[in-house]
Amino acid sequence: MSGRGERIVMVTAYDYPSGRLADVAGIDLILVGDSAAMTVLGHATTVPATMEEMLMLTRAVTRGAERPLVVADMPFGSYQVSDEDAVRNAVRFVKEAGADAVKLEGAGPSLSRVAALVGVGIPVMGHLGLTPQSATMLGGYRAQGKTAEKARKLLEDAVALERAGCFALVLEAVPAPVAARISDELGIPTIGIGSGAGCDGQVLVLHDLLGLYSGHSPRFTKRYAEIGAEIQGALEQFAADVRSGAFPEEEHTYAMPEDELEAFLSSPTPRARTET
Ligand code: KIV
């Protein structure tokens, strides 16, 4: 697609309906992001996401999404220790959850993980810039590559990830001109989030774009809907209808044949069995 100059669209999804809706909407790639730890599981960061949780979410998404490429995010701790761990866990995403590819964060030690995964036939998406799993090391959730030296390091890491075998690279919270240069220099597509229009594609977190997450959304997200407010309004209306007796109505109930009803209503009340 990037070769044809077509911008790539990626969105996160975490369950069957969001996978299905993303597919029907014509989204190119779905990321089962470890952002699920925050958006779906209510944690303060992405760090607590576990393999079992990510596998369950990925299985649900792949049941709903048939056409888009589904990328499973490897959670913190599932690839940091060794290449062997990375392969073992990535194989589970492909084999048990139906993922097409996996994503992992950073360069450095992640380079040998990428090579190991690609070596066993698992496509890998890289992730540079603001890498939430190591946000503490980066000094918090803040833009990366804002000095010439740091931008140069990002470019070097991006080239190294491409050489290691990544098929695409997420660039998160990187100044737009830095992301544009990285995108120009790489042969693989870049997918930006908060990194400007010079990337080959864009990704947003589903809950941010739908207005479904009440936590802090980064400035680079754009809300395309206010689904959270819609849901809350619907729930309040449901509660009010039940309390006032406005729900259920006739149309929400089942009828039965008249004669059966009469027979039922005229039948004697069963007595409680008395113990002898
Ligand atoms: O986990 C996630 O949702 C991500 C995106 C922000 C790229 O990694």
Q: Residues 114-142: pLDDT tens digits?
A: 999 999 999 999 999 999 999 988 988 89
Q: What is the mean pLDDT of residues 62-73?
A: 98
Residues 209-237: what's their mean pLDDT?
90
Residue 54 pLDDT greater than 90, yes or no: yes
* Mean pLDDT, residues 139-155: 95
pLDDT digits (tens, 9 = 90+) for 3-39: 899 999 999 999 999 999 999 999 999 999 999 999 9
Q: Which atom of ligand 1 is nearest to the CA of 170?
A: 7
**Chain centroid to CA 115: how far?**
24
Amino acid in the structure at residue 197: A
Mean pLDDT, rounded, for 210-238: 90
Contacts of 165 (CB under 8 A, 6+ apart): 114, 115, 117, 118, 119, 124
> Between the CA of residue 237 and those of 113, 162, 231, what are the distances in Å?
51, 52, 10
How far does the centroid of ligand 1 lie from the alpha carbon of residue 33, in Å? 5
User: Which of 10, 127, 141, 209 to probe ligand 1 with, by most ligand atoms within 8 A of CB?
Assistant: 127
Asked if residues 102 and 122 have their Cβ atoms less than 8 Å apart, the reply is yes
pLDDT at 215: 65
Q: Does residue 228 carry a pLDDT above 70?
A: yes
**Residues 127 and 170: beta-carbon distance below 8 Å:** yes
Q: Please, which pLDDT band fits residue 262 given cuts at 50, 70 and 90?
A: very high
Residues with C-beta less than 6 Å from any ligand 1 atom: 12, 31, 33-35, 73, 127, 170, 172, 193, 203, 205
| CA–CA dist 184, 178 (Å, integer) | 10
Give pTM, 2 decimals.
0.94
Catalytic hit among 172, 226, 230, 260: 172
Choose among 181, 188, 227: nearest CA to 206: 227
Cα angle 190, 121, 119; round to 5: 90
List, in order, residues 6 or more apart from 41 with CB less than 8 Å away. 48, 49, 53
